[in-house]
Chain A
Amino acid sequence: MANLATKKQSKKTAMLSAAVYLIMAAIIYYVVFSHTDKLVEVLKSKTYFAPLLCMTTVVVVSFLYGTAISNILKHTLQERLKSQELREE
């Protein structure tokens, strides 16, 4: 019973953090797509700012959005498929 309560709590926490990460990722998407001209200017500058901007954004977005999606799928699809897990070879 206590285990089930902890599980429910962790699912709730995971979903909450997924929502927070999704919002943060959405803010980055908004900033990028609403400042296209400035962004393209930096990306075309051929200075170290271009890879810095690119790689930092990519890492941050993939972390935020990726973690959010991972958390959501972990507590929905993955949990549902738990009884079907295989490990052969």
Chain B
Amino acid sequence: MAGAVEIPAAAEAIKFITLTPKTAFSLFGIGLVGGILSGFLGSGGAFIMTPAMMSLGIPGIMAVAANITHKFGKAIMGSRKHNEFGNVDMRMGLVMFIALFAGVKVAVSMNRGILAKMGTAGSNLYISIMFVIILSWVTWFMFRDIMKQRRGTNRITGQEGPTLAEKIRNLNLPPVIHFKVAGVRASLWLALLVGFATGFLAGTIGVGGFIGVPAMIYLLGIPTYVAAGTELFLAIFSGAQGAFLYSMHGLVDLRITLLLYVGSMIGINLGAIGTRVVRGSQMRLVMVAIIAMVALSRLAMVPVYLAEMGKISLAAGMHDAITLMSNIFLFGSGAVGVSMILFWMFQAYRRAGVVQNAGGDLSSSKASV
């Protein structure tokens, strides 16, 4: 959901890479993983796809450009598929987009100020700390909710009072809008606030969907699958803006984007179908697992940035070991998330086979009677 796109001035010397069959196949795999996560959760592709492309030797800025251009088309098709399932609340998407755009602008201005005052390492440290704080809080909040649901001590039992999120939701400051697809009535101000906060965090840490989807679920009371679909609808706008700006600066390698599509279009359809056969609590569990691992990945990098700022000293071997550990957590989060999704889909597939066989047996026995 990251909206505003900042393009560094030092992007002049970037060269387009030579594509080998190995690179092409790797891009297919990266697209597939990113597509499954995006189709299932509405977000979650970018944070893995960009570093994965960089590890193939694609310059960082071009990896971001290819990713955001790819996101544009992926979001169009993904939200179309979700819309087919009744998962996209366009009214909610449009309301949130306006506030989200403002939030991104404010965050980008703040990031620029920090970069000017503290340099690249300071800026990286600020972003990593924000990552750790926000993602840890979201992880804790969602994990607690899932556990409550599992224990059966959720709001249905009435054993506990309303949560903070429910109190905020129940304020109902006028005007209150009925979001038909989501099936909720929510204050326009609350929707704008969620949009702004999401945009601000997207502009600060670059992964707005991780915040936007849980915020839509908990603060606006939207079902998980509608939050995922609406998030993809929002991504169309940010993807279009990003694709336009990066290509105007000559940074989009269309070949990379097209190779990503080969995998991601399969992935996004698989993910969207997955939302139909997996419970909302399971979707949240995948999200929690990924968010927690990404938070750990960023936490691991804090000493590296402190060392780069000269605040602490770190041996070169230790620097590399920490970076490797951070990458393991980052790529591991994608692997864990995709494995969980595919495992549940495979279970549903097997159950469907049993149902189909039982139906077949029943109809053949009926025929014999």
* Interface residue ranges, A against B (CB under 8 Å): 29, 32-33, 36, 39-40, 43-46, 48, 50-51, 53-55, 57-59, 61-63, 65-67, 69-70, 73, 77-78, 80-86, 88-89
Contact = CB atoms under 8 A, between A and B. Distances in A.
Given A40-B16, A50-B252, A58 B243 contact: yes
A40 B253 CA distance: 8
Nearest to B86: A87
A55 B243 contact: yes
Contact of B77 (A63, A78, A86): A63
Contacts of B353: 80
Nearest to B245: A51
Contacts of B277: 81, 84-86
Interface stretch (B89-97, B131-139, B255-263): B255-263
Contacts of B248: 46, 48, 50-51
Contacts of A32: 254-255, 258
B243 A54 contact: yes
B270 interface: yes
Interface of B: 16, 69-70, 72-74, 76-77, 80-81, 223-225, 240, 243-244, 247-250, 252-255, 257-258, 261-262, 265-266, 268-270, 273, 276-280, 345, 348-349, 351-353, 355-356
23 contacts: A39-B254, A40-B253, A43-B16, A43-B247, A46-B248, A46-B250, A54-B247, A55-B240, A58-B72, A58-B254, A62-B76, A63-B73, A63-B76, A63-B77, A66-B268, A66-B269, A69-B265, A70-B80, A70-B81, A70-B269, A77-B349, A81-B276, A83-B356
B33 to A, nearest CB: 16
Given A81-B273, A89-B223, A69 B279 contact: no
Contacts of A65: 261-262, 265
Given A54-B257, A62-B74, A70-B77, 13 more contacts: A46-B249, A46-B250, A54-B243, A58-B72, A58-B254, A59-B73, A59-B76, A67-B77, A80-B356, A83-B355, A86-B277, A88-B279, A89-B280
Contacts of A63: 73, 76-77
Nearest to A48: B248
A75 to B, nearest CB: 12
Contact of B352 (A33, A36, A81, A88): A81
B258 A81 contact: no
Given A29-B258, A39-B254, A73 B243 contact: no
Contacts, number: 132
Contacts of A83: 351-352, 355-356
A57 B258 contact: yes
Contacts of B268: 66
A32 B248 CA distance: 19
A54 B69 CA distance: 8
Contacts of A67: 77
Contacts of B348: 81, 84
A51 B244 contact: yes
Nearest to A33: B255
A77 B271 CA distance: 12
B23 to A, nearest CB: 13
A76 to B, nearest CB: 10
Given A51-B244, A80-B352, A69 B266 contact: yes
Nearest to B347: A84
B276 A85 contact: yes
A69 B269 contact: yes
B120 to A, nearest CB: 26
A89 to B, nearest CB: 4
